[in-house]
Amino acid sequence: MARPWFDERAQHALTTAVAHVEGASAVELALSVRQSARFWLHVPIIAGILGAWSMLAFMLFGEPTFGLSAFLVDPLIAGGIVAWVATCVSPLVRWLTPGPTRRRAVEIAARATFVERGIHETGARTGVLVYCALAERIAVVVADTRVLNAVPGASLAAWERDITSAVRRGGVATAEAIQSSAAMFAAALPRSPDDVNELPDSVEHELNGSQR
């Protein structure tokens, strides 16, 4: 049985990773985890249509005999049920949505969260957001101006790819990928004795412990 993505062990590991990076550098690191970056309307629509067609095919070619009125109602009911179930099945987002489209949606959501959480308002402009979208299995890093000026873009991009790869393996693996940036940030933005922790280390999320 697969370990839940966001169980107690993962929550502790993620919080510890944020604290470790902040303890080694001047970076103010924030972490947001979402089940999905947005609601993908086409997923339940496609699933619902396929469910309705499947029910209709069963009624037309299966052995049971149905009344004429059932042909108007039953496929709609079946399609509605399948559409509702599809909203709870994360892999459908990846199967029915092109990678670049998913990536763009996560980037938009991450940048909106960066502003909503006030990460751009740290005193030294060293805020960094790691935004993880589980349905899309994509992580996006959004960094403030001082971080962008101090850390090579290629290094940030490589770190982002490592986190994205780790998201597929669970919360603990994601925490390890996040914590791996400590040396990179410490070299570019060393912590000073008077640094103040301006952002909470806890993970901002909308998940429960059973989330996969």
Instruction: For 71-88, write each residue's pLDDT tens digit.
Output: 989 999 999 999 999 998
The answer as to whether 2 is a domain residue is no
Q: Are residues 28 and 55 in the same domain?
A: no
Domain that holds residue 199: 8-38+97-205
First to last CA, the chain: 11
Question: pLDDT value at position 210?
Answer: 42
What whole-number percentage of the chain has pLDDT above 90?
Answer: 82
What mean pLDDT is predicted for residues 94-100? 95
d(CA 172, CA 88): 23
Same domain, 71 and 91: yes
Q: Are residues 163 and 201 in the same domain?
A: yes
Least trusted range by pLDDT, from 44-48, 140-144, 154-158, 190-194? 190-194
pLDDT on residue 119: 94
> Looking at the structure, do residues 108 and 165 belong to the same domain, yes or no?
yes
Whether pLDDT at 206 is above 90: no
Give domain status of residue 182, yes or no. Answer: yes
